[in-house]
Amino acid sequence: MSLEPPPDQDIVVVGASGDLAQRKLLPALYNLSREKLLPTRGAVIGTAPVDWGDQQFRDHAHQAVATFSRTSVDDAAFATFAERLHFVPLSGDDITPLQQHFTQQRRIVYLAVPPSAFSPLISAIGTAGIADDTSIIIEKPFGRDLDSARQLNAELHSVVPEERVFRIDHYLGKETVQNLLVFRFGNSVFDRVWTRDAISRVEITVAETLGVDGRGRLYEEIGAIRDIVQNHLFQVLALTAMEPPISFEPEAIRNEKVKVLRAIRPIDPEHVVRGQYTAGTVGKESAVAYRSEPGVSPDSTTETFAALRLQVESWRWTGVPFLLRTGKRLKVRDSRVVIVFRDVPLHLFREVGVEAMESNRLVVRIQPDEGIALSFSAKQPGPDVTAQDVHMNFNYGSSFRGSPPEAYERLLHDALHGDHMLFIREDEVEAGWSAVDGILKEPPPVEFYAAGSWGPKDAARIAAPGHWHAAENEV
Ligand code: BG6
């Protein structure tokens, strides 16, 4: 990440009154401004179908920063940031009124809008005649299946070339996800064991305690496979399973990631469990059923949980199952990768009560409690030979000082610099959709689970033989 300010350009946020702008984009832009990582010259132009002026936008940004920023509001820093903020109310798809507010030759347009608005806005950029100097950041979900993703790619490329398209997957902005590359390719100790010879399975979990959080109507159209599996889980899978790139250049890395996604075998429907939460208790709070959430149909069959068993058919991974799961309203919030190593060839201690020996595991905690732990067996002190599962633990909080930048800070900063490393390339997004297209077309029925549990009972079947390694049992 360059610590130089990016080239001069305007930043246009379409959907500036929305949830994403409020929670993530405005706080991220403020923090970049505070750290002098925004372009030296350039406005931040918000637009949305609301009747705001500049001052209302600035007040909204202040409140967004005060509520959601990782840093508190510094009055002087906010005043400097606010000077850049302008607002243009727009209700239709004609974006030409924006042009009189441009201050620079170049601009980056962030489409922080629902997916149905992507296509009209892309063609509006073309029609307005501003495409030549425009880059586009586009939020997920990018399409809803392979065909629609291809179509959206074609629409984008009819307006701007791939070099000026930045498809967001905010998981790539997370430090712990980026660290997968450094961990794998900066340490020789794990290199030799990162293969089917030593690894028996790989588990990747993205568990949330939140429900649909007021997004019921939108979520009804999406579900967990489109919302998390096809993007966040597949990106973590790609970084975990990819071959070493020939350099640390964006294209070299993306070339290797796409190979992993292309190597996913068609998924056997027997190896997919879809679930939906019913009422329950998450932590100490009671939660309503998904079907009772605002905007959700009372007989909805949208999945809020998915567990899948995949095969990555490559020289390195053939025969190693990749177990992916995600869900809302689960017992704990926890995103992690668990590498489970093969058992020792001979259980020497069988006679002394150690049948329950756990396999060695490497656990990458993406969030919360970010860190990495290696679990192995140690002799419990005492006259008997009794093995116990113990952990060597690296913890971000104690090893590194200060709060790391938020994912969106890093991603906005890189896009402003034109750096594509942490963005999804056209072929990656299509390979991701291609892998789940079969199960989206013929989804298995949903099974119900109580909010606050670990998902439907049948999810255990996906992990068998063996079991999911959940946060509760691990460091
Ligand atoms: C988003 C999904 O991409 O990621 C949300 O649309 C989900 O449904 C969110 O809640 C989770 O992000 P994080 O960073 O909290 O793990």
Q: Which atom of ligand 1 is nearest to the CA of 219?
A: 8
Residue 471, pLDDT > 80, answer: no
pLDDT at 387 over 90: no
Q: Report the pLDDT value the prediction gives residue 170, as an integer from 0 to 100.
A: 95
CB 332, CB 205: distance < 8 Å: no
CATH code: domain 10-139 is 3.40.50.720
How far is 465 from 130, CA to CA, in rounded Å?
57
pLDDT value at 28 more than 90: yes
What does the pLDDT average to over 146-173?
Answer: 97
Task: Return all residues near 314 (Cβ < 8 A) that are at least 6 apart.
Answer: 241, 259, 260, 263
Cα 208 to its chain centre, rounded Å, is 12
How far away, in angstroms, is 68 Cα from ligand 1 center?
15
How many whole angstroms from 46 Cα to the centroid of ligand 1?
23
- The least confident of 263-277, 340-354, 415-429, 455-469 is 340-354
pLDDT in tens, 198-246: 999 999 999 999 999 888 998 999 999 999 999 999 999 999 999 999 9
Pairing of strands 285-287, 305-311: unpaired
pLDDT in tens, 408-433: 999 999 999 999 999 999 999 999 99
240 compared with 384, residue with greater pLDDT: 240
Q: Which residues lie closer than 8 Å to 247 by C-beta, 6 or more apart?
A: none
pLDDT tens, position by position, 62-71 = 999 999 999 9
Mean pLDDT value of segment 427-451: 96
Which among 338, 332, 289 is positioned nearest to 446, based on CA atoms? 289
Q: Quick check: 296 pLDDT over 50?
A: yes
Q: What is the pLDDT of residue 385?
A: 79
Is the model more confident about 144 or about 93?
144
- For residue 140, give the ligand 1 atom closest to its CA: 3
Q: What is the DSSP string of 107-123?
A: EEEEE-S-GGGHHHHHH
d(CA 150, CA 129): 24
> Do residues 137 and 168 lie in contact, with contact meaning Cβ atoms separated by under 8 Å?
yes
Element (H, E) at 363: strand 361-367
Quote the Cα angle for 83-15-175, to 5°: 80
Which pLDDT band, with edges at 50, 70 and 90, does 90 fall under? very high
Pocket lined around ligand 1, Cβ cut-off 6 Å = 208, 210, 227, 335
Going by alpha carbons, the residue nearest to atom 11 of ligand 1 is 208
| Mutate-to-test residue for ligand 1 from 171, 221, 228, highest number of ligand atoms within 8 A of CB | 228
pLDDT at 475: 43
The 10 Å Cβ neighbour count of residue 144 is 17
> Is 232 an active-site residue?
yes
Q: What is the mean pLDDT of the chain?
A: 93
| pLDDT value at 188 more than 90 | yes
Residues 6 or more apart whose CB falls under 8 angstroms from that of 392 comprise 373, 374, 376
Name the phi and psi angles at 95, rounded to 5: -100, 5
What pLDDT shows up at residue 91?
85
Q: Give yes or no for residue 470 having a pLDDT over 90.
A: no
N-to-C CA span, the chain: 31
Domain boundaries, the chain: 10-139, 172-463
pLDDT of residue 474: 55
**What sign does the dihedral 301-302-304-308 (CA atoms) show?**
positive
Q: How far is the CA of 351 from the centre of ligand 1 (A)?
A: 47
- Mean pLDDT for the stretch of residues 1-23: 92
Average pLDDT over residues 107-134: 94
> Running DSSP on this structure, what letter comes out for residue 23?
I
Please count the CA atoms within 13 angstroms of the CA of 307 that sit on its side-chain side.
Answer: 24
| Cα–Cα distance measured from residue 318 to residue 421, given in angstroms and rounded to the nearest whole number | 27
Give the DSSP H or E segment for 65.
Answer: helix 54-68
Of 60, 62, 170, 232, the active-site residue reads 232
Give the pLDDT band (50/70/90) at residue 386.
confident
**Structure-block tokens of residue 162:** 């791939």
Which residue among 138, 144, 169, 170 has the greatest number of ligand 1 atoms within 8 angstroms of its CB, and so is best to mutate?
Answer: 170
pLDDT surpasses 50 at 300 = yes
Ligand 1 atom having least distance to the Cα of 212:
8
> Separation of 105 CA from ligand 1 center, angstroms?
34
Cβ-Cβ contacts under 8 Å for 438 (sequence gap 6 or more): 266, 267, 269
Q: Which of 23, 227, 329, 370 to mutate to test the pocket of ligand 1 (most atoms within 8 A of CB)?
A: 227
Distance 87 CA to ligand 1 centre (A): 27
Q: Which fold has domain 172-463?
A: Dihydrodipicolinate Reductase; domain 2 (3.30.360)
Determine the angle formed by the axes of helices 250-262 and 234-241, rounding to 10 degrees.
110
**CA 393 to each of CA 174, 204, 374, 474: distance values in angstroms, whole numbers, following the listed order:** 20, 19, 7, 11
Other beta carbons within 10 Å of 107: 22
Where residue 473 falls among pLDDT bands split at 50, 70, 90?
low
pLDDT in tens, 329-373: 999 999 999 999 999 888 777 665 555 678 999 999 999 989 999
d(CA 392, CA 72): 34
Residue nearest to atom 2 of ligand 1 (CA): 227
